[in-house]
Amino acid sequence: MATPDSPVHVVAASEGAPIVIRSVGWQEPLRWLAAGWRDIRRAWGVALFYGSCFWLMALALAWVFRASPEYTMSLASGCLLLGPFLAMGLYDTSRRLELGLAPDLGQSITCWDKQLASMGMLVLVLIVLELLWGRASLVVFAVFFNTGMPSTTGVVQALFSVDNWEFIAVYSAVGGVFAALVFGSTVVSLPMMLDRGTDAMTAAITSLRVVTTQTGVLVLWGLLIVLLVAVALLVPWQWPLVVVGPWLGCASWHAYRACVGSQPVTAEGAAPATRSPA
């Protein structure tokens, strides 16, 4: 029999409980960042391991983009396969700290094993979205660069030249649509699968519900994520990712916990008419 501190017990206890989308205030994203920072300070060894993984992935992507940009999308797909598993380990670390348990790197590395099927389905959806995103980007390039695909230097110059404002606007709009789909379907889905043992479809739909019902706050959260990652990538050798990666991972667990709750179930098995307060 599982003990009360067992992660399996925690997951099973929330299975089948009605899902509540909680209202969150504008100050919540900063609280999530503060809580994530506390987590990585308490589990600095685990955070260093995952941060190093994110950093190495960024270095590999940057090297391939400079050397052979045509293979960047392929490597990005590989990172997209690995990324959710790394993130799940950080969610597990924050969950253990929340329960008063000590961080456990070994447990965090294998915490996804019971959700492998659901994670595989979600990762497959993400890869399809990335492939469509890549294809749409190629179409945009083909329309605006009718003399052929630009080199790596040409791509950078095109993206940062005000003379190409039409290309920048269209490229940003296309990228924004796909980025919104990826963010909306994953912002709470992975921690939800870890916490509740939810299937990929339910988790993704719940994640989209969170974004559509708390749009302003979640857009702010997404902008903070983009800002922190962009700052880390702009620093030579992208070394801040060692800290920013696990920081955002742990903070995302707290974002999930703030946005998604379980409605209490009565002794008869029916949920009460009123929702529990946020």
The string of pLDDT tens digits covering residues 156-170 is 565 556 666 787 788
Q: Give the span between the Cα atoms of 3 and 189, in whole angstroms.
A: 26
Q: How confident is the model at residue 114 (pLDDT cuts 50, 70, 90)?
A: confident
Phi, psi of 102 (to 5 degrees): -75, 145
The string of pLDDT tens digits covering residues 43-100 is 999 999 999 999 998 888 888 777 766 566 666 766 766 788 889 999 999 999 999 9
More confident residue, 14 or 205: 205
The string of pLDDT tens digits covering residues 194-206 is 998 888 899 999 9
Residue 6 has pLDDT above 60, yes or no: no
Residue 173 has pLDDT above 90, yes or no: no
Instruction: Give mean pLDDT, residues 8-25.
Output: 65
Q: How confident is the model at residue 244 (pLDDT cuts 50, 70, 90)?
A: very high
Of 171-175, 236-240, 270-274, the least confident: 270-274
Of 88-97, 143-152, 229-238, the least confident: 143-152
What percent of the chain stands above pLDDT 70? 76
Question: Rounded to an integer, what is the distance from CA 194 to the centroid of its chain?
Answer: 13
Average pLDDT, the chain: 80
Q: Give the span between the Cα atoms of 186 and 181, in whole angstroms.
A: 9
Both tokens of 201, joined, read 């479809």
132-170: burial string, b at 16+ Cβ within 10 Å, e else: ebbeeeeebbeeeeeeeeeeeeeeeebeeeeebeebbee
Residue 7 has pLDDT above 70, yes or no: no
Q: How confident is the model at residue 277 (pLDDT cuts 50, 70, 90)?
A: very low
Q: In the block, which residue shows the tokens 């946020």?
A: 278
Q: Record the pTM.
A: 0.78
More confident residue, 47 or 276: 47
Which pLDDT score is estimated for 117? 82
Of 5-14, 31-40, 90-99, 243-252, the least confident: 5-14
Among 261, 239, 262, 259, smallest CA distance to 251 is for 259
Residue 93 one-letter amino acid:
T
Which pLDDT score is estimated for 270? 41
250-266: burial string, b at 16+ Cβ within 10 Å, e else: bbbbbbbbbbbbbeeee
